[in-house]
Structures are given as structure tokens and as C-alpha cells.
Amino acid sequence: MVHFRAVVLAALSLLFGGFSVLAQDVTLTSADGAVEINGTLMGFDGEFYRVQTVYGQLTVDGTGVSCDGPGCPNLTDFVANVAISGAAGMAEVLMPALIDAFALRNGYAVSRRTLDKTHFVYALSDQVTRAPIAVFNFRATSTSEGFADLLADEADIAMSLREIRDSEIKRAYDAGLGNMREKNRSRVLALNALVPIVSHDNPIDRVSPAQLAQIFSGQIDNWQDLGGPDAPIALHAPGQGSGMLQSLEDRLMRPAARQFSPDVEFHAQMEVLVNAVQRDPFAIGIATYASAGAATRLPLSGGCGFSVHATRRGIKTEDYPLTAPMFLYLPARRLPKVARDFLAYTRGPAAQIVIRRAGFVDQAPEEVPVALQGERFVNAISQAGSEVALADLQTMVARLSGLKRLSKTFRFEPGMSTLDAQSKSNATQLARAIEQGIYDGRELVFVGFSDGEGSAQANRNIAIRRAEAVKKAVLNSAEALNADRLDIQVEGFGEALPMACDESAWGRQVNRRVEVWLR
């Protein structure tokens, strides 16, 4: 197996005719000669050396030392080298689109070279002098391979179609990478969703998550069991080992304590999966929001009458339960400045336009008026019972009337008070917007909701505590906050505005949330 780092160095040689050899012994000496550091040069970002020594890995400011040895980089003609590995679903379309847009925005010339089936290179250079500036080296394989390269120090950034798993967190910690769940170790680049699809000729118009898990485990194997024709169900799913299949396991199959049926046909390419389902009226597949094409997308339903559609806004607010954030995971070390600039760009408004045009769901905040949320309030009224009186609904409507819902929803890890991965990213983004003064002079209300288990008063108390927790997380991230510039409030309405049925674990999880409303 050819190591990613070796392919990276070969790419640099191909593109620019030469490069500094990394992973060789060097000696760093302070200007007065009093301090000398010997070790293996692991990286140089144009400003800082990263050296493996007998004392561990050290980061040393390049302006204060001289470097001696065959691995020393050329400080005058430094070219930033960024290795990016992981999910092919991100590497094939989304990341190239963002790099192209980043280069255009900064006045760089950009060229692409394909090295082999899984490796390609983007080179950035000065438009006038053509002097090389940076090389982005991609290895497009799978989420698991991306994490493996990051843990082996073969990649600077890992692309992932799912949240990092506990086993990977442990391996990262054992490898000296610290806690991969810490702040700034990951970010949500864009949003996608797992969507059940069928042919236009299939009469089924909705399916519940519980039924979906039963279908793909083989427990339900005939359309007749779903109110359709007497015909066997053909199953199609994303490729084995892919991040999307692993996300499907994490979000659908494992919570239902089920495994995939041996009759499932797995597809390495999403386009092939969608085409197979479209041709077969008795097939069902799991595609992504961005790749479903002309196939019929089935909404997720529950026994109490709710149906949740995979719309762009529903995915952005996480009202659709099978959202699939697209992550970038980062090491606990400095990246080259151009890489840091690129990561900062991906969070800005210009990048959100690129993400949306590429077919994915962006994270640009939207404000949704109450008038456009009639279905949610109709569901609330229809589900009201002994625990939620009409007066409670009237109180909620009166409080939210005249406000707009922000498309940032906060949810928690199952059975925990810790925000889930997408919500952590939402907290960082909302904090940044507050620091930038985007909401100055406005009222910002964190509104907590709960599932229907327990008494109404207990659920209201839980909802308020959750809203307070989210408020604290956001304000703690807003280090430059001036609290006098906006009015921040907290409310809790318990189970008064359900998004799904409480009959299932996924429904209760969807209902436990904190929304942000603005006046």
C-alpha cells in the first residue's frame, strides 16, 4: 500500500519540480545558540516547525531558530502542503467546488491533476507570477479511511459523512491526538440527509422510521405489509464501508437494534443506486437528499399522523430526523495559513452559496416567520390533550407571535445533556454571528421543547433547563460578546409543539430540542 504522504510528495514534485523532504532529521538552533532541538521534522506550515523529539512532538516558531539538516524547508519559496483524506462523496464535488471558489475569491490561479483512481491534486499559484502558493492533496476513499489517515498523521483534514465513533475517539486518544470531541476538532461543512426513495410507479406514499428499519433488516419483505401490492421488496443501500451506510447504521438500524438483511444490494455509486430504484416499481432504496434525483422521496411518518419531508429547510433545522451532516475533522496542531484561510472561508456567506449550488444544504441562517409554520401549529393543536391545555397553546402562540424562527435548532446526544455534533457547530456559528453584531438591537429567545413523557410541568422545567444550557453554550463561545447590544431571553413550552410522534425513540428525540426565535 502506497502511503498518502508519499503520494503527496510525488504530487509536489510533479507540479513544481521539487520539494522539501519531510520526516527527516533536523536541528533547530536559537539565534544565540543557547537552545538546540534535535528531532524528526514532521511538518512546517510556513511559520512553525513541528518536530518529533525525545520529549514528544514540539511546535517551534520558525522566526526564532535556524534549521540545519536535509529535511529543512525552503523558507523563501515555501509552498503550503495540505493533505485531505476521506469520504469520496465530499471529495468528488463539494470540496473541489469550494477550493475553486476560494481560489477565485483570493485571486489565485488553480489547476487540477489526477494522479490515480483515488488521488488528485489542486495547486494554487499567483495569477501574475505563477509562483506556487499551496497544494491541496486529496485521497478520495471512505470516511473510515479518512480517520485512519488522520490518526496516522497521513492527513491534515479528514472528510467524514458521519460523526466520529467511540472506537475512533479511543484510537485517536491512544495515538496522542487528544479528545476528538473537543471544541474546534470538527466542524460541519454542509448538510445532507438520508432519504427513502421508490419508483414513481410505487403506490406507497410514506413510511415510518420503524418500518424502514424493519424493511432493511428483512422483517418486512412484502409491499403488502405496507398497504401496497403483493410483491417482494427489493432493497438498495449505499456501498459497504461508505460513510453514508455507516451513518444509516448509526441513525436508523442501531437504535432499532437491527442489522441489514443479506438481501440488500449495496451500491458504491449513489447514481447507480437511484437508477436501480427508478427502474424497479418494487424496489426501495436509501439515497441522499443531494442525489435522489427524479426518484420519489418518501416522507417519514408516525402513527399519530405526522409526516416529515426531507426539504432543504427541514434538513437545515433538523426537523427531518435523518439528517446527515458532512464533517471536517482536524488535528490538534496548526495548519498552514492558507489552509486556515480556506477553513475560515467555508464558514462564510460566499461559501454557503457554493454549497447550495453544488446540491447540498447550506448553513446560512434563515428567519422563518410564524405564518410559514402553520403545519407545526396545526399538529400542536391536533395533538393537544389532557397534558397540554388550550390555554398553554395560546400562551405559546402569544409569546412567539411577531417573532421569526431562526434555522438553527439545538438537539442533544441521546440520553445526555451534551449537544450533538451538528448543534455544537450551530452554537459556534450563532456565537460568531452575535459577535459580529448581526443581531444587535434585537430580541433573541432560546425556546426549549420536550417530548411528551412525564407530567406537563416537569416537561416545561426540562425544556427551560435545556434552553438555558444552549444559551450558556452559545454565550461561552461568543468571547467578544457585548451583552448590552441585544436582549437574550429563555422560554420553555414542554411538549406543546411536537415535531413527531412520541410513540418511538426517534420521535421523542426529534421533539427534544431548543429553537431560536428573533424579534
pLDDT profile of the chain (519 residues), mean per 10: 56 49 79 90 83 88 87 79 94 95 95 94 92 94 94 93 91 87 87 95 91 96 95 95 91 91 95 96 95 91 75 87 92 88 94 95 88 64 64 81 90 77 86 89 92 84 92 86 84 84 75 91
Place of cell 400562551: 395
Q: pLDDT at position 379, please?
A: 63
CB 46 within 8 A of CB 12: no
**β 65-68/283-288 pair status:** unpaired
Q: Which helix (H) or strand (E) holds 126?
A: strand 119-126
Distance CA 460, CA 467 (A): 11
Measured CA distances, 515 to 345, 434, 493 (Å): 26, 16, 11
Task: Supply the pLDDT for residue 400.
Answer: 85
> 359: closest CA among 290, 413, 306?
290
DSSP 385-418: -SSS-HHHHHHHHHHHTT-EEEEEEE-B-TTSSS
Residue 62 confidence (pLDDT): 84
Given this model, what pLDDT does residue 372 score? 64
Domains and CATH numbers, the chain: 4-19+79-183+330-357 (3.40.190.10), 191-316 (3.40.190.10), 365-518 (3.30.1330.60)
Those residues whose C-beta lies under 8 Å from the C-beta of residue 3, and which sit 6 or more positions away, are 154
pLDDT at 304: 65
Cα(163)–Cα(496) distance, integer angstroms:
30
Q: How far apart are CA 273 and CA 265, in angstroms?
A: 9
**DSSP string for 57-117:** EEEEEGGGEEEESTT---STT--EEEEEEEEHHHHTTHHHHHHHHHHHHHTEEEEEEE-SS
